[in-house]
Amino acid sequence: DVKVTQSSRYLVKRTGEKVFLECVQDMDHENMFWYRQDPGLGLRLIYFSYDVKMKEKGDIPEGYSVSREKKERFSLILESASTNQTSMYLCASTQGQETQYFGPGTRLLVL
């Protein structure tokens, strides 16, 4: 059974903290994605990666960075968390033109 896991389901952080969200897939997929989901705005792409050590900006990369040192792991980093980064963060992976699989999501609250 295919699996995408995310390091935390819920996180509470303070403004200015550095935050790491991790995503691991066990399907040997080349492509991995980080989205955030907000009411009324839908899913918006933050960053994606189509290979190890490769990364591309999505639609809303400001305030975020990513790391992909190994094929199965894609990390999202909030360099200095702000309250407007409170959101649901979703990781996904896919291979070629095949099905995109999602993790369970991390609900982040920044106080």
Partner 1 sequence: KQEVTQIPAALSVPEGENLVLNCSFTDSAIYNLQWFRQDPGKGLTSLLLIQSSQREQTSGRLNASLDKSSGRSTLYIAASQPGDSATYLCAVKGTYKYIFGTGTRLKVLA
Which residues of this protein are in contact with partner 1, per CB under 8 A? 4, 31, 33, 40-43, 45, 48, 50, 56, 58, 88, 90, 92, 97-105, 107
**Least CB distance from residue 44 to partner 1, whole Å?**
8
Q: What single-letter amino acid sits at 29?
A: H
- Nearer to partner 1 by C-beta: 17 or 50? 50
User: From the CB of 99, what's the least distance to partner 1, in Å?
Assistant: 5
Can you tell me the distance from the alpha carbon of 8 to that of 12, in angstroms, rounded to the nearest whole number? 10
> Per-residue DSSP letters for 45-86?
EEEEESSTT--EE-S--TTEEEEEEETTEEEEEESS--GGG-
What are the backbone dihedrals phi and psi of residue 41, each rounded to the nearest 5 degrees, phi first?
-110, -10
Nearer to partner 1, 31 or 85 (CB): 31
Nearer to partner 1 by Cβ, of 51 and 79: the residue is: 51
